Amino acid sequence: MITLALSKGRIFDETLPLLAAAGIAVDPAIIESRKLILPTGDPGLRLIIVRASDVPTYVQYGAADIGVAGRDVLLEHGGEGLYQPIDLGIARCRLSVAAPAGFDYARAVRRGSRLRVASKYVGCARQHFAAKGVHVDLVKLYGSMELAPLVGLADAIVDLVSTGSTLRANNLVEVEKIMDISARLIVNQASLKTRAGQLEPLIAALSAAVAGEG
């Protein structure tokens, strides 16, 4: 039995069509069952539902053989013990710096001002600002980053942006893109050796599905 770790929401929703193209049916109604272990149409494959940021951990420890995780999550996790064979091109967004409409970010950077930046992605943020030579004090948050500049907790935030409507709703402006983000297939390196017979065809089928050949 192969175990595939997914998170609820966009990762689950956007992985289902790829599985379908690979010939693996999943009853979408099954997610409503609140069960955390879900069967698929393939008796050799089951799904487990975990928090998005926990997917790499399940796969790293071999509790899941494979998983789907955002590049953001993988960068923060570090990716140890994980083989990343395919960019699935799903759950696309970008990691960006955003600041209140009235804050001149470019000028603050030019002047070498010390910035207070709030983010859930402190690892990526630290690397980005260090590479630019910008001095920052990073404040780790777990959600609602958009609030931080509005109440004086931070000058700017580093967060995921897709349509931009969350930023607009909070009077924030995207001032710098750090990187494009999409979700990747991740594979436990030991499973890849011990279960190659099951995993290799699955990886190949998903790869073909991504390429539109599925």
Where on the chain is the footprint of ligand PRT (CB under 6 A)? 7, 9-11, 51-53, 70, 72-73, 91, 93, 159-166, 181, 183
∠ CA(163), CA(14), CA(69), 5° rounding?
85
Residue 199 tokens, joined: 């995993």
- As measured in angstroms, the least distance from the Cβ of 14 to ligand PRT is 9
- As measured in angstroms, the least distance from the Cβ of 134 to ligand PRT is 22
Closer CB to ligand PRT, residue 121 or residue 195?
Answer: 121
DSSP-assigned beta bridge partners for residue 47: 4, 38
Closer CB to ligand PRT, residue 65 or residue 159?
Answer: 159
181 alpha-carbon distance from chain centroid:
7
Per-residue b or e along 25-50, where b marks 16 or more CB atoms closer than 10 Å to that residue's CB: ebeeeebeeeeeebebebeebebbbb
Closer CB to ligand PRT, residue 45 or residue 50?
Answer: 50
Q: Give the residue at shortest CB distance from ligand PRT.
A: 70
Closer CB to ligand PRT, residue 119 or residue 199?
Answer: 119
- As measured in angstroms, the least distance from the Cβ of 168 to ligand PRT is 8
**Phi, psi (5° rounding) for residue 139?**
-115, 115
